[in-house]
Structure 1
Amino acid sequence: MSAAPAKKSIDSSLSTNFNDDIQKQKYNNKKRESEETWWINGVFVIIVHIISLISILTYTADRKTWAMTFVMSNLGMLGITVGYHRLWSHRAYEAKLPLRIVLGLLGTLGFQGSIKWWVLRHRLHHRWTDTEHDPYSAAKGFWFSHMGWIFKKPHYPRMKLIDASDLNADPVVRFQHKYYVLLALSCGLIAPTMIASLWGDALGGFLYGGILTRMVVWHSTFCINSFAHWSGEQLYSNEVSARGNLLLALMTHGEGYHNFHHEFPKDFRNGYRLFDWDPSKWIIYALHTLTNQVPKVTRVPENEVRKAMVNMEIIKAQEKRKKCDWGVDSSSLPVITYEQYKQKQEQEGKEWILIDEFVLDVSSFKDDHPGGAKILKNYYGKDSTKAFHGGLNDHSKAANTMTAMFRVAKIEKNQKEE
């Protein structure tokens, strides 16, 4: 019977934060696990780079093989941009089953994981951009966002918050996810080898169409994670690090306009402006208008885009404004009576004039006054407000802002001489 009280005594001796400590320890353990090197993934990526470099330096491929490599690289990138990214990640348009099958196969050429895994991770990136929950956060440095993240074991505690219902309901996604390794090896390595064997260059097909193509597609995609969060324009938002520029768009079939995309991820366009280079957009739109495979595309309302651009122009103007000297803050000026203002001029010879309840010391400006120093001297110790605002000359906006540079005091309300 004494066992129960003894147990209670032991429990009571534990820290009151015991449960918190356990949770913290679990979190730290998971964090350490997430920081562990993902050796299988890392070694595979390194081997692909080494073989690609050796192939370029030591093996001369047939011109047909080079042409095939170019075609397969572009098809792989389109599988990522048109399929993985704009269709499945953001549902920027609707696609019927035949097109989804084609895009799913093309996406496997990218060797970037299954549609489901790629999409969930990308949605996580958009939900928590630049934070510790961003799988390839630019806040962790250029190298990490470009490809350093693929050398770390994935640990995404907020992945459970990402909706995957649409992916689970798509038979193409389910099939590709289940047989991804077989599909990737068949489409990405075996197929180019067999195709190139038709003209007697099977080895070149493997090295260039298979291995080199993987590296090209990888880095095209990785540039969006790194360069597009590091250099370029922010025309639509500055809330996250996403930027955009033409060079990246040329390298990635239009994905380089990343600032627009992060602000309006549901839009099927990344290059919103007419002159923006965005082949992925053109392909989607062509399929929408010329075939029945894309029944619907999503565009953000024009008014919303314009508002975003105007807001950014205001922000940039405010930043420029901060770099200008606008004179003394009126709230910090001493307050004097109109009589005190007059006495200062009459008794101390102050070269002061009064405009809009502000006393201005024009001693340093009188010789540069466009109308001459004599005009200013006529108003020393007087109220020159009416003369300034049209009585003598209707001064420009620049002249109005310049007066703030000469403020030395403020007149009490209702103290000016009428």
Structure 2
Amino acid sequence: MTKPRLLWVNVTFFTVSTLMALVAAPLWGYFHGFETWQWLTLIVLFSYCNLSITAGYHRLWSHKTYQAHPALRWLFALGGALAIQNSVIHWSSDHRVHHRHVDDNKVDPYSAGRGFWFSHIGWMLREYQPDRYDDYGNVRDLQKDPVVAFQHKHYLALTLVMNFGIPLLLGMVFGDVIGALLLVGFVRIFLTHHTTFFINSLAHIWGKRTYSDKHTARDNGFLALLTFGEGYHNFHHSFENDYRNGIRWFDYDPTKWLIKGASLLGLAQGLRKTPEELIVKARLTRQLEETKVRAQAKGLCFNELHRHYEETLAAAQHYYQLRKRWLQMKKAKLMQSVEALELRRQLEEMGEKFRQMQSHWQQLRLQLA
């Protein structure tokens, strides 16, 4: 079978940027050194690039998990050009296909089923799907956004201005143009690219399938540190319309914090969250599946496990129904009514029962593990 033709522009760009970041920059640093302002600028622009991809390209435009003020959309559009990951329209089109056909080696643009190299960078080095970008039919909604349309039309110019203009300007101001181009330019691009690419590659092969085994996406807290919160990838593929990836308070998800902070400032609205009862159900169901497999392998009976699963799930549904009613009363400022006080008592009792059942559930799982 003949391999698709090489995309020489991409091959050349990745080769040159890698050599400049891994060879030229260390050599310049060894012989000339880098100043504090260069390191600080690298960190700031690296963070800006990655957050423009995670909060902008990914959660705002690809999945529409919230709406953003035009000022925020412009900020993300320019950051995306700085990140050199193609236009919002092109990136989002690929990503929507990825989610719709995840792990389908024939359709998924960066299917993890084709191996680490392919899903990480190989899919961009050859023309695997040349006909897919004729009309961008799956992102017609994004083409109506004037910010997105402008960025797509002028993407190359924006990319050149952002990636050469900023380092050159800083270099001239502080007196080290070459050092700025190497560290703030090429090293930043290298780090931005490969930490983002990890979401397509490592996040589909390394970690735990917490909520579903119907796709290869994994949850990995360490990858979340590298990808600004995108490492909780099994959750994302299970609940892709949620603006969060890390749902627990201690989960490292700066993208989530940025979106929430923007909403408090009036720059974002309509933040979408998956109902908690659906998340609990998915997690319990996945735990049931995993434990049954281990119990069967050991020849153990898991009837009690299945019974307790049903009871815990029923308790969860009852608890969240009560909480939903309580929140409705709280919003209507009826907390002091007789009905509300009784509902609060029931909610507290049911919450305690649910916590006890969850604890028993975990103990039972450990016994059968």
Deviation at 1:82, TM superposition (A): 0.7
**Partner of 1:135 in structure 2?**
109
Match among 105, 113, 120 for residue 86 of structure 2: 113
**Contact 1:249–1:277 (CA<8 Å) still a contact in 2?**
yes
**Contact 2:90–2:136 (CA<8 Å) still a contact in 1?**
no
In 2, the alpha carbon distance for the partners of 1:273 and 1:246 equals: 12
In structure 2, the CA distance between the partners of 1:158 and 1:52, relative to structure 1 (3 Å rule), is closer
The aligned amino acid for 1:185 is L
**Partner of 1:103 in structure 2?**
76
**Partner of 2:26 in structure 1?**
57
- Of structures 1 and 2, the larger Rg is shown by 1
Trace 1:279-294 onto structure 2 (pairs within 5 A).
Answer: 279-289=254-264, 291-294=265-268
Deviation at 1:51, TM superposition (A): 1.1
The aligned amino acid for 1:102 is L
C-alpha RMSD of the superposition: 1.7
Trace 1:9-408 onto structure 2 (pairs within 5 A).
Answer: 32=2, 35-60=4-29, 61-131=34-104, 132-155=106-129, 163-289=138-264, 291-326=265-300
**Contact 2:89–2:136 (CA<8 Å) still a contact in 1?**
no
In structure 2, the CA distance between the partners of 1:156 and 1:319, relative to structure 1 (3 Å rule), is farther
**Contact 2:239–2:274 (CA<8 Å) still a contact in 1?**
yes
- State the TM-score, normalizing by the size of structure 1: 0.68
The aligned amino acid for 1:36 is R
Deviation at 1:161, TM superposition (A): 8.6
**Contact 1:130–1:139 (CA<8 Å) still a contact in 2?**
yes
In structure 2, the CA distance between the partners of 1:227 and 1:86, relative to structure 1 (3 Å rule), is same
Q: CA deviation digits over 1:90-122, x for unaligned, max 9?
A: 001100211111111111111010110000001
In structure 2, the CA distance between the partners of 1:275 and 1:64, relative to structure 1 (3 Å rule), is same
Larger RCO (CA under 8 A, 6+ residues apart) = 2
In 1, the alpha carbon distance for the partners of 2:26 and 2:263 equals: 43
5+ residue gaps, structure 2, are 302-369
In 1, the alpha carbon distance for the partners of 2:140 and 2:115 equals: 33
In 2, the alpha carbon distance for the partners of 1:143 and 1:298 equals: 33
The aligned amino acid for 2:70 is L
**Contact 2:7–2:126 (CA<8 Å) still a contact in 1?**
yes
Residue aligned with 2:225, SS? helix
Deviation at 1:72, TM superposition (A): 0.7
Residue aligned with 1:242, SS? coil
In 1, the alpha carbon distance for the partners of 2:139 and 2:25 equals: 41
In 1, the alpha carbon distance for the partners of 2:250 and 2:19 equals: 38
Residue aligned with 2:201, SS? helix
Number of residue-to-residue matches in the alignment: 295
**Partner of 1:23 in structure 2?**
none
Q: CA deviation digits over 1:16-67, x for unaligned, max 9?
A: xxxxxxxxxxxx9xxx5x7221111111111100111123321122221121
- State the TM-score, normalizing by the size of structure 2: 0.77
Deviation at 1:162, TM superposition (A): 5.3
In structure 2, the CA distance between the partners of 1:162 and 1:247, relative to structure 1 (3 Å rule), is farther
Tell me whether 80-89 or 62-71 shows the greater mean CA deviation: 62-71
The aligned amino acid for 2:75 is V
Greater percentage in helix: 2
In 2, the alpha carbon distance for the partners of 1:96 and 1:244 equals: 30
**Contact 1:76–1:106 (CA<8 Å) still a contact in 2?**
yes
